[in-house]
Structure 1
């Protein structure tokens, strides 16, 4: 009985802690659990014309900033001579939104039908032909980034510069602002490793902060840098410099206001839970789910209580079986 209870306690702890934190994958990031950072977008291009004939496929990363518009890098849309253009360049460009695992279910696959180039910065906007209304978009930063600030990056890029295929799951890493120019931000990886860095196909991926209420604000997008993984900075386009232009493009393309449905006693249903706040200040990839840990410890204490109860029962049963002690005369 004692062995069974101990085994159950250990199993409960293993199951609880097994789902508590993300696994460190490789030097350039952590894998992202399902349901996290739904605003992250993968832009997949099918049949891009190639100079001299033929086609190729490619992809970029991006971030949802309104129901129809995705923020990404300007160089993700180039003609056969490498010039940035304000139009889709592939036969078909698909934005995958709200799905951390590309092979999983849920989320949306929406066709991109329009592109707007910012012009000065390596920043562009891609419009989808259908609105995504069940994912909370990124907010636009309106203030200049500060050196030393910590931000997070999410992207669907390669794991190493030598890889031939992008992963099927979104990845993330923690970065520090190490330089600020008029148009760009230097971002240096700090967690999960000192060489955490964006890679090819992470172009356009959002660098963002997460407030305590779960609101994510984009401060920059991946533009250019050395081959990954590497130490030192990559460059990102500053969002605060182009926030007014972005707003002029998306205009009133906002999430529809929810219509409260009446429940008992005239109350409204509870709002959807916000995304968990980032744990950037602790240099950890994700916030530790203390609720799960508490549940696991409570389970252990419960099992210990069962063990003690079982021991007490055996002692009482043994006492009843023994004959009463008689004093010798």
Structure 2
């Protein structure tokens, strides 16, 4: 199993270079998200992350706006030099892009992460932004227990494939179904556009949600899974079990 945010500075540089070429895809075997939809979907870009040997690298995650100044994402996106998830001041520079489905020019809204709080249940963290985001409807946090067979939308900025993976320059979406419900996790599998529609590297923290109007209800966030694309179960973290905690942190 692979966590969805682990690659090197060289690959992030490749992703930046793609800004001048055709936009890269995200969510393996997904489809384009039209501009103006899912504005709450966040692209997180981390730089200068330390390794135990003293070297540094860049990486990325996905996430979702759940309050004007808060992003819900994967807990493992923020860690110490030994990759242990941590809370407190952001451990390395992290920018957040919202309000656009294409990373280009001055499109969207950019914020900086200042602080991180780990949920303590599941692979989930809240990232606090330096300034509130106005004009974008946050996702509501679902309190309902997910059910096997439930259909969810995944929206992320991850790679198309585990081969030569790089952060995406375009938001993609896919439909998945819940295949397994555990105490703090869900196992989900692809439904559309294909049975092997799946999260990929750099999709860590991407929201699985039920869309409604300009917002919706977030049910889970991306954690880890096999090399993508794949038709096996992907591990996600349930948000209903931490709904009260999210509310206490963001209000």
Using the size of structure 1 for normalisation, the TM-score is 0.66
Unaligned runs of 5+ in 2: 1-24
SS in 2 for 1:113: strand
Which residue matches 2:160? 159
Map Cα deviations across residues 92-144 of structure 1 (whole Å, 9 max, x no partner): 11011111101153321101000000112100000000110110000110110
**What is the CA distance between 1:36 and its match in structure 2?**
1.1
- What is the rounded CA distance, in whole Å, between the counterparts of 1:53 and 1:82 in structure 2? 14
The structure that has the greater radius of gyration is 1
Q: How does 1:95-244 map to 2 (within 5 A)?
A: 95-211=96-212, 213-244=213-244
Q: What is the CA deviation profile of residues 40-90 of structure 1, one whole-angstrom value per residue up to 9, with x for unaligned ones?
A: 001100111111112111000000001100000000011111100113221
Q: Which runs of 4+ in 1 moved over 6 A?
A: none
Shift of 1:28: 2.4
**The residue matched to 2:246 in structure 1 has which SS?**
helix
Number of equivalenced pairs: 226
Q: Is it true that 1:73 corresponds to 2:74 in the alignment? A: yes
More RCO (CA 8 Å, sep 6+)? 2
More helix by share: 1
1:52 to 1:132, Cα distance in 2 relative to 1, 3 A: same
Higher strand content, 1 or 2: 2
| Aligned-CA RMSD value | 1.5
With the length of structure 2 as denominator, give the TM-score of the two structures. Answer: 0.87
Structure 1 gaps, min length 5: 1-23, 252-329
